[in-house]
């Protein structure tokens, strides 16, 4: 299974908005609304931030939003805060392998 493609790093100043892209293929991101995003702070377990492309779990700040266009999904963090500094991973169901595939991860730095 090929990993989804994410930028290695994205940075922004407090209060700014940033967007992380996640590029897959027509067999994964492009075929299903089963894209999710996870936040992982150092030494901690991942936390679900967005599921089914656009949905936010209870308790997740509305500063986090998701979208998808074609084979590319995106996570936008608005009003960037210091606590948003973490690694972010996208994930999608992949029909070609009947399994789940993650992106390589994006390190978000708050300047």
Partner 1 sequence: EVQLVESGGGLIQPGRSLRLSCAASGFTFDDYAMHWVRQPPGKGLEWVSGITWNSGTLDYADSVKGRFTLSRDNAKNSLYLHMNSLRAEDTALYYCAKGTSSNLYGSFDYWGQGTQVTVSS
DSSP 79: S
Does position 95 interact with partner 1 (CB under 8 A)? The reply is no
Among 98, 108, 109, 110, the residue binding partner 1 under the rule CB under 8 A is 98
Return the closest-CA partner of residue 78 out of 20, 22, 1, 6: 20
**Under a CB-based contact definition with an 8 Å cutoff, are residues 52 and 35 in contact?**
yes
Does position 57 interact with partner 1 (CB under 8 A)? The reply is yes
**Of 9-17, 23-31, 37-45, 72-80: span binding partner 1 (CB under 8 A):** 37-45
**CB-based burial label for 90 (10 Å; 0-12, 13-18, 19+):** buried
Closer to partner 1 at the Cβ: 17 or 95?
Answer: 95
Contacts with partner 1 by CB under 8 A lie at 1, 3, 32, 34, 36, 38, 40, 45-48, 51-52, 57, 89, 91, 93, 97-105
């Amino acid at each position: 299974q090929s990993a989804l493609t994410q930028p290695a790093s994205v940075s922004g100043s407090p209060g700014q908005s940033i967007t992380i892209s996640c590029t897959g293929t027509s067999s994964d991101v492009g075929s299903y609304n089963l894209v999710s995003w996870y936040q992982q702070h150092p030494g901690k377990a991942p936390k679900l931030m967005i599921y089914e492309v656009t949905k936010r779990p209870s308790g997740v700040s509305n500063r986090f939003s998701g979208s998808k266009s074609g084979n590319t999904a995106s996570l936008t963090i608005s009003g960037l805060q210091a606590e948003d500094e973490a690694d972010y991973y996208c994930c999608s169901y992949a029909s070609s392998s009947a399994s789940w595939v993650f992106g390589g991860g994006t390190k978000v730095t708050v300047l």
